[in-house]
Amino acid sequence: MITRLTYLLFLASGVVFAQNETDMILSSAISDVEEKVIAWRRHIHEHPELSNREFETASLVAAHLEGLGFDEVETGIAHTGVVGTLRGGQPGPTVALRADMDALPVKEMVDLPFASKVIAEYNGQEVPVMHACGHDNHVAILMGVAEVLAGMREDIHGTVKFIFQPAEEGAPVGEEGGAKLMIDEGVLGGNDQPEAIFGLHVWPTESGTLGYRPGSTMAAADWLKVIVEGRQTHGSSPWLGVDPIIVAGQIMTALQMIPSRQLDVTSAPAVISIGSIHGGVRGNIIPDRVELMGTIRTFDRAMREDLLERIRRTAESIAASAGAKAIVTIDSYSPVTRNDPDLTNKMLPTLEWAAGPGKVQEIPLIMGAEDFSYFQEQIPGFYFFLGVNADGVAQGDAASNHSPYFFANEDSLVVGVRAMAGLALDYLRKR
């Protein structure tokens, strides 16, 4: 565990992180806040909330920022979002730091004393809730950064805007939410318009490491829904109806042939996954309707448009050939997460300072998606990854994000605080 600040030469920029009074305050503050960050993380983990329902989490965050004497604390943005503005004692620009707050409809299987036992409603169903993607860590880290920077505000060259975002995982059916709605409601506007934004995500890699990638980093994502309408009949006489289950199976198989056989995957990867199938009530009744739900991941805009058209044509044609009907709905979730190359290269020495020598690694493309990309469409942004595997667990051996067994090593959280605090301060100093 890293518990004190060291002072490293910023080789890429030629700037030395001097051992002055400001840095001594920063060192002490990060050390002092570490236990609080872990405590906040455990509380939020034990009390997870689904997208657009992050009421208790938002209340905890807002009270914390207000208690720190932030210049402004805005609540209720994009339903439950919280935005805190901390103006430094020295003139300078504004930089934004973002953390997402929502949990997932997943039953926790990790044996922890603070494991979630929460049950909530999700799209009309009662579901268990868990921070299976690690957003509890993101919120706790940014709360820690807020306390660190508030304690040294007179030495800050500019303004830091703290964005606690709801519904990164996607708003419930029939609702808007997430980064796009926060932007629509003016989070990047006003008197303190940020000129850059930073965010992190905990990831199942070696604890305390930081991963990054300039340019395209995470995929664009679209929600896919296919309703197959057939004609109900007795299971013993399928010829008297139209079987939507068989048609749905054919569609699912054919969809996998699109990226594997119809797209030039040497130019960019693409993935189609069906994660939900609903249809029928009894084994001897062929239903009249089946619903498929899934996700589409792409990196190239032209390929995405071609892929979406092929999905529609494939599903509709297969259904029509069997006398059924396929209704295809595709809704965009997020564009590609693209790290500004210049900003990324400029801030790499900060990551090296935060994690230590040999702990910062360039990573390959990630098929996961992030609505942080909407912020990056407006201003330069840098999104990176904090390794949180248990000690001794190698990359690839730990449960992935969204798994009921997802685990975060709390020893790594202080590195997240160091990275986010360092990025804000260093950006404002270099700027």
Sequential DSSP letters for 381-426: EEEEEEE-PPTTPPTTTSPPTTSTT----GGGHHHHHHHHHHHHHH
Find all residues with CB under 8 Å of 268, minimum gap 6, and list them: 298, 299, 300, 303
H-state helical runs in 205-340? 244-257, 301-321
Q: Between helices 413-430 and 21-46, what is the axis angle to 10°?
A: 140
Q: How many CB atoms lie within 10 A of CB 255?
A: 23
> How far apart (Å, rounded) are the C-alpha atoms in residues 217 and 233?
48
Residue 180: phi, psi to the nearest 5? -60, -45
To 5 degrees, how large is the angle CA 307–CA 259–CA 308?
Answer: 15
* 35 among known catalytic residues: no
Of residues 189, 178, 276, the one with CA closest to residue 226: 276
Find all residues with CB under 8 Å of 3, minimum gap 6, and list them: 31, 34, 414
> How far apart (Å, rounded) are the C-alpha atoms in residues 63 and 58?
9
**Sign of the dihedral defined by the CA atoms of residues 390, 396, 398, 402, in that order:** positive
Q: Which residue in the list 49, 54, 102, 206 is annotated as catalytic?
A: 102
Q: Are 45 and 118 in contact (CB under 8 A)?
A: no
Q: What does the DSSP 8-state code read for residue 261?
A: I
Q: Which residue in the list 34, 155, 168, 371 is annotated as catalytic?
A: 168
Tokens for 153?
């505000």
Of residues 212, 198, 139, the one with CA closest to residue 423: 198
Match 């807002």 to its residue by tokens: 62
> How far apart (Å, rounded) are the C-alpha atoms in residues 30 and 24?
10
Of residues 203, 221, 223, 225, the one with CA closest to residue 212: 203
Find all residues with CB under 8 Å of 50, minimum gap 6, and list them: 102, 103, 104, 105, 120, 122, 129, 172
* 316 among known catalytic residues: no
> How far apart (Å, rounded) are the C-alpha atoms in residues 243 and 304?
31
Q: Which positions are annotated as active-site residues?
A: 102, 168
